[in-house]
Amino acid sequence: MEALQVALVGVFIAVGVYLILSRALIRMLLGVVVLGNGVNLLILVAGRLTRAVPPIIPRAASAPEGYYANPLPQALILTAIVIGFALFAFFAVLALRTYQAMDADNTDHMRLGEPEQPPRLPLEY
């Protein structure tokens, strides 16, 4: 099961990298999201996949009894998902506004900050 999920993580990251290498802003964004989800799955595997009970502490005890699932990866992934979602929302709006402002989705045509033929400095003072 772990090997299968690791292979899945590999597929996710490969797809993410492929999309990020594209020049279209929307595809890059989707790539980053797929990459982020691959990383989330990877954290889940890193916490070891087990068949065990949820880590709930009985009322009288101070630690859970017997085998229990590792709660930490889930906490980490939850945080990462929330953050990733917020950033994706921002980027989706940014992509829209960029398209409206510059009429470009292709990053090759976004050259306001770096003109294609940079001007030369004068050689004398």
- Which positions touch other proteins (CB under 8 A)? 13, 20, 25, 28-29, 32, 35-36, 39, 42-43, 45-48, 62, 72-73, 76, 79-80, 83-84, 86-87, 90-91, 94-95, 97-98, 101-102, 107, 110-114, 118-122, 125
CB of 83 to other proteins, least distance (A): 5
CB 52 within 8 A of CB 74: no
Identify which of residues 53 and 83 has a Cβ nearer to other proteins in the complex.
83
DSSP secondary structure code for residue 23 in this structure: S
Identify which of residues 15 and 20 has a Cβ nearer to other proteins in the complex.
20
Q: Which residues contact 114 (CB under 8 A, 6 or more apart)?
A: none
The pair of three-digit structure tokens given for residue 107, joined into one six-digit string = 């990053």
For the chain, where are the alpha helices, taking DSSP H only?
2-20, 25-46, 72-102
CB of 66 to other proteins, least distance (A): 19
